[in-house]
Structure 1
Amino acid sequence: MIEAWAWLEAQGLLVPAEDISNSRGWRQLSRRAKKFEDETDFAKYAVARTLPKEALHPRIAKKVWMAFMRGEFDVAVFQAMKAVEVAVRAATNIPELGVKLMRSAFKPDNGPLTDMTVEPGERSARMELFAGAIGSYKNPHSHRDVTLDNPAEALEVILLANHLMRIVESRCQTMSS
C-alpha cells in the first residue's frame, strides 16, 4: 500500500492538501488526477508516461515530449516527423518536400545520404523506409486534421521518427569524415 501511495505522489496524482490538515500529512487528488473520468483515461496516462524525454533525439526531445505529455498525440507525431524532413533537407540541401525529398536523399545509386557500403536492396529499403514514414505519418497531418488519440500508437511513431533522426545524424557524420 505504501508503495502505491508513493507512486501516486511521484506521478503528481496525489498532492499535499491545501488546508490546515496538511501539517498532518493529508493528501488530495491533483488537478491531473481529477481529470480521469474512467479507467481508459488512466490507461492512456500510464502509456504516455512511458516516453522518456532523455531517450529522444535532442532535436525532437523538448517539443515532441511536451506535446505527447499534454496528450496532443497528433501534434507530437507531426512534430517528430517534420523534424525528420527538416533534418534530411538540411543535410542534403535538396529543395524538395516530403516523399520526393526522401527518395532523392536516399536514392539507392547516388543519394547524398545513401550508405553505399550496403547491398543495393538495403539501400532501396532505407529509401522506402524514409519515404514511407514521411508519406504515412507526416504528410497526412500536413494536409488535413488527423485524429490520433491512442498514446501507444503515437509512441511507436515518435520512436520511429527518433530512429530516423539518428540515421540521418549517423549518415551526416559519415559524410563529414
Structure 2
Amino acid sequence: MSLYSEIYPLPEAVLEMEPEELAPLVLKHLGRAEQGKLNRHNFLLGTDREFVDWAGSYKQGQSVLERFSVAWMWLEKELFIAPQPGNNDWMFITHRGKKVLDSQDFDTYRQGYLLPSDGLDSILVRKVKQSFIRGDYDTAIFQAFKEVEVRVRTKAGLSEKEIGVDLMRKAFGPPSAPLVDKTAHPAEQQARMELFSGAIGTYKNPSSHRYVNLTDPREAADIIHIANTLLRIVDSIQ
C-alpha cells in the first residue's frame, strides 16, 4: 500500500475536504515522508509514481495538489510547520506539530478552526479556547459564561453575591437597572434582560450543577459564540 493510500481517503473524498480537515493528514504525511518532502515545491510536484497511481487522472491529480497546497498553508498559519532558520524554502515540523503527531490526536486540533481566535474576546481566547480544543466542552462553555457573569457584575457595579439569572435581572431589569439602555423601547429593554437571563440560565447554570456531557464541537462552538456576543454587548455599554 502506498503512503497516499494509507494516509488519505480516495482522491474524490479529498476534493470534498475543507483545509482544516485535510491539513492534519498532510501533517501526518510530512511526518512520514523523506526530508526532501519538507519543501513545498517538492511536495506539490505530483510527479512521483505513488502519487500518480493514487490520484488517477492528471486533471484530478492537479485538483488534489491544489487542495494539498491550501492545507499546507493552513499548517503554516497554525504554526504546525515553519521555515527552517536561514532557508525559507525548507520547512520543519514545529514543537506543536510534533506534539500532535506523537499523540496522534488530530481530531481535537482539527476542530480548533470552529472557534477561531479572530473576533473572539481576548479572555475567551485565553481561558476557553484550549479547553475547547481538548474537547472539554463543558468546561469551555462554563468558563465562557462565567466571564459574561463577571463582566456584567463589574459593569453594573453589583456585589459578588449576585450570581446567575438574578444577577442578569438586576443588571438589565427595566426601567432603571444599571445596564438598561435608557434610549431603547421598553420592550427592547425587557428583551435584552431576557436575552442575558436566558443565556445564563440555559448554558451556565446547568454546567455549574452537573456534567452536561456535550459531545458535538460545532454545537459547543455555537454556544461559546453566544457568550462572545453577550460580552460585546456588555463592552459596548457606556
With the length of structure 2 as denominator, give the TM-score of the two structures.
0.58
| Aligned mate of 1:55, from 119, 126, 129 | 119
Q: Which residue of 2 aligns with 1:78?
A: 142
Larger Rg: 2
| Aligned mate of 2:219, from 131, 153, 156 | 153
Q: Structure 1: which 5+ runs fail to align? A: 16-24, 37-41
Distance (whole Å) between structure 2 residues aligned to residue 9 and residue 88 of structure 1: 38
Matched residues, number = 157
Q: Which residue of 2 aligns with 1:68?
A: 132
Tell whether the 8 Å contact from 2:137 to 2:215 is kept in structure 1 after alignment: yes
Secondary structure, aligned partner of 1:49 = helix
Q: Which residue of 2 aligns with 1:133?
A: 199
| Aligned mate of 2:100, from 16, 32, 44 | 32
- Amino acid in structure 1 at the alignment position of 2:199: A
Distance (whole Å) between structure 1 residues aligned to residue 225 and residue 158 of structure 2: 25
Tell whether the 8 Å contact from 1:12 to 1:30 is kept in structure 2 after alignment: no
Q: Tell me the CA shift for residue 69 of structure 1.
A: 1.6
Distance (whole Å) between structure 1 residues aligned to residue 92 and residue 117 of structure 2: 31
> What CA RMSD, in Å, does the superposition of the two structures yield over aligned residues?
2.6
- Amino acid in structure 1 at the alignment position of 2:121: H
Q: Tell me the CA shift for residue 135 of structure 1.
A: 0.3
Q: Tell me the CA shift for residue 14 of structure 1.
A: 8.4
Q: Which segment drifts farther, 120-129 or 55-64? A: 55-64
Q: Tell me the CA shift for residue 106 of structure 1.
A: 0.4
Q: Structure 2: which 5+ runs fail to align? A: 1-64, 83-90
Distance (whole Å) between structure 1 residues aligned to residue 151 and residue 183 of structure 2: 22
Tell whether the 8 Å contact from 1:48 to 1:151 is kept in structure 2 after alignment: no
- Amino acid in structure 1 at the alignment position of 2:100: R
Task: Report the identity percentage.
Answer: 42
Tell whether the 8 Å contact from 1:107 to 1:127 is kept in structure 2 after alignment: yes
Bigger RCO (CA 8 Å, 6+ sep): 1
- Amino acid in structure 2 at the alignment position of 1:68: F
Tell whether the 8 Å contact from 1:54 to 1:61 is kept in structure 2 after alignment: no
| Aligned mate of 1:94, from 148, 158, 164 | 158
Tell whether the 8 Å contact from 1:103 to 1:131 is kept in structure 2 after alignment: yes
- Amino acid in structure 2 at the alignment position of 1:35: D
